[in-house]
Amino acid sequence: MNQSSVIPVIAIDGPTASGKGTVAQRVAERLGFHYLDSGSLYRLAALAAERAGVDLADEPGVASVAGRMDIRFAEGKVWLAGEDVSDEIRSERASQNASLVAALPAVRDALLQRQRDFRQAPGLVGDGRDMGSVVFPDATVKFFLTASVEARAERRTKQLKEKGMSAIMADVVKELRIRDDRDMNRPVAPLKHYPDAYLIDTTDISAATAVEEILGVYQKMP
């Protein structure tokens, strides 16, 4: 067993706006663990490729940019080549671009080690689509958070409005379905509830309740 595999990991996967980001961050705070927002790496890869003039369908080109992009996470913000891009990577366009490049196996490979490097003592909470299936298959405990399309679209609309971005519910539902469909049907690391992950449906429960559920399961682990 190598050193890093003894560091605990809580893997939280699920579709967009299932609440996994908020929940994962709160669980990390409560335990004093590090937090990996893996989706932001795909968002950054798409943005970095665009800025380098690389077509998003150019798999080796995007993978090469993803492997060497200069990124930094601190105080809840994200920097690309020294520029704060926290808001830019959250737009709907950036979300769709992230999901496009995330379907490319070479891009996923280029980001794999960067994600595993977040596994540092005393522990890590990772959120994404393949935390439990590919990046940390030996995670201490795995969760799959989901919610109805309506509940997710409502949350996403609220999030976008809070960020001062325009959002029409019907458009959000459409975009969410396109992204879910692409994420679930790609051949590599598809978004899926694997049987080794605890299922939490957040349609009718608050983020606080989901956090308690996760902490309860984690604390009972041997």
Residues that bind ligand CDP (CB under 6 A): 16-17, 21, 38-40, 42-43, 95, 98-99, 102, 128-130, 179, 183
Query: Half-sphere exposure of residue 74, counting CA atoms within 13 Å on the CB side?
Result: 7
**Separation of alpha carbons 41 and 23, rounded Å:** 19
Please give the structure tokens belonging to residue 24. 């994962």
Q: Which of 190, 194, 68 is nearest to 142 (CA)?
A: 194
Q: Which residue is nearest to ligand CDP (CB)?
A: 39
Distance of closest approach, residue 142 Cβ to ligand CDP, in angstroms: 13
User: What minimum distance in Å lies between the beta carbon of 138 and ligand CDP?
Assistant: 16
105-to-57, 60, 64, 127, 177 alpha-carbon distances in Å = 12, 10, 12, 19, 22
Alpha carbon 30 to chain centroid distance? 19
Segment holding 148, helix H or strand E: none
Q: Which is nearer to ligand CDP, 1 or 170 (CB)?
A: 170
CB of residue 16 vs ligand CDP: minimum separation in angstroms?
3
Q: Which is nearer to ligand CDP, 43 or 211 (CB)?
A: 43
Shortest Å distance, C-beta 62 to ligand CDP:
13
- Closest to ligand CDP by CB, 205 vs 222, is 205
Tell me which amino acid residue 166 is.
S
Q: Choose between 1 and 158: whose C-beta lies nearer to ligand CDP.
A: 158
DSSP 33: -
Of 94, 201, 79, 88, the residue nearest 150 (C-alpha): 201
By beta-carbon proximity to ligand CDP, the closer residue of 116 and 216 is: 116
Give least dist CB 18 to ligand CDP, A.
7
